[in-house]
Amino acid sequence: MRGKDILDDLAFMVEATDSYRVGRNIDFKKVENVMERLSPELPDLFDSATKKKYKKTVDFITSLPFRDKSMRRLALFYMLFRLLLRFSLVGFLLSIGLIFYAPPYSTPMLIASTSLLYAALVGRWYTLMKLLEFYEREMKNQPGKDEFLKEIAQKLIDELSSKIRERGVKPSKYKLHLFKDDYSGVRILKRPGWLRDYNLAEVEIGGILNNP
**Using one digit for the tens of pLDDT, what is the confidence trace for 78-105?**
889 989 988 888 888 888 877 777 677 6
103, 138, 173 — which closes off a domain? 138
Question: Which residue from 117, 128, 100 is spatially nearest to 197, judged by alpha carbons?
Answer: 128
Average pLDDT, the chain: 87
Q: What is the pLDDT of residue 4?
A: 55
* Number of domains comprising the chain: 2
Asked if residue 86 lies in contact with residue 72, where contact means CB atoms within 8 angstroms, the answer is: no
Domain that holds residue 107: 69-138
Among 114, 138, 162, where does a domain finish? Answer: 138
Nearest to 16 by CA among 192, 157, 138: 157
Considering the domain boundaries, does residue 211 fall inside one? Answer: no
Q: What is the pLDDT of residue 212?
A: 40
DSSP assignments along 102-157, one per residue = -HHHHHHHHHHHHHHHHHHHHHHHHHHHHHHHHHHHHHHT-HHHHHHHHHHHHHHH
Q: Three-state DSSP class for 206?
A: coil
Domain membership of residue 209 (yes or no) is: no
Residues 68 and 75 sit within 8 Å (Cβ to Cβ):
no
CA angle in degrees (0–180, nearest 5) for 29-141-58: 5
Q: To the nearest 10°, report the CA torsion of 63, 65, 66, 68.
A: 140
Question: How far, in whole angstroms, is CA 97 from its chain's centroid?
Answer: 32
pLDDT of 211: 41
Same-domain status, 112 and 165: no
pTM (2 d.p.): 0.75
Per-residue pLDDT of the chain in tens (212 residues, 90 and over written 9): 444 589 999 999 999 999 999 888 889 999 999 999 999 999 999 999 999 999 999 999 888 877 788 888 888 898 899 899 888 888 888 888 777 776 776 778 788 888 888 899 899 889 988 888 888 888 888 889 999 999 999 999 999 999 999 999 999 999 999 999 999 999 999 998 766 788 999 999 864 444 44
Q: What are phi and psi of 189, to 5 degrees?
A: -90, -40
In a domain, 195, yes or no: yes
**Does residue 53 sit within a domain?**
yes
Domain end marker among 112, 138, 164: 138
